[in-house]
Amino acid sequence: MKIQDFNHQIEIRVRTFDIDMQGIVHNSVYLKYLEIGRIEYRRSYGYKILKSGQFNDGLTVIVAHNSIDYNSPAHIDDVLIVKTKISWIKNSSFCFEQIIVNDKDTVICDGMGILVNLNPETKMPEPLPEKFIHEVQRYENNLELKK
């Protein structure tokens, strides 16, 4: 992943409750940072979060897989930049690729999350709506559609 390949980014400042006994951000906190990046990515499309915790776009998505590679530690009061993109879409799933850098462009970690769209009644995977696919294709220039 290249830093310049991302259209979306947010800043997060490391707080005291994010660090561990070694004085660095605890490894599990990066999952939270990546989730915040994914939420803000979807919010940037203009959607609002309902009281149920879902976006008002009608999708019911769940995380099916997360992975993180840690490269460099982050410390208290660091400003981290979470960069997010959707790199591919399949029938009912899509992949967020993300990278977290500090204000010196040092890569702190990179990760990915695969999300699956569920039918809200059956809780079984269902195809992603064309509207979602077109929105992502407009936002991401080199989006890969997989079968």
DSSP assignments along 98-123, one per residue: EEEEETT--EEEEEEEEEEEB-TTT-
Residues 6 or more apart in contact with residue 33 via CB below 8 angstroms: 12, 80, 82, 100
List the structure tokens of 77.
Answer: 């009061």
Cα dist from 110 to 31, 99, 114, whole Å: 11, 4, 14
Averaged pLDDT score across all residues of the chain: 93
CATH number for domain 3-141, candidates 3.40.50.620, 3.40.50.2300, 1.10.357.10, 3.10.129.10: 3.10.129.10
- Report the percent of the chain where pLDDT is more than 90: 80
Note the pLDDT of residue 1.
Answer: 67
pTM of the entire structure?
0.92
Domain spans, the chain: 3-141
pLDDT tens digits for range 69-89: 999 999 999 999 999 999 999
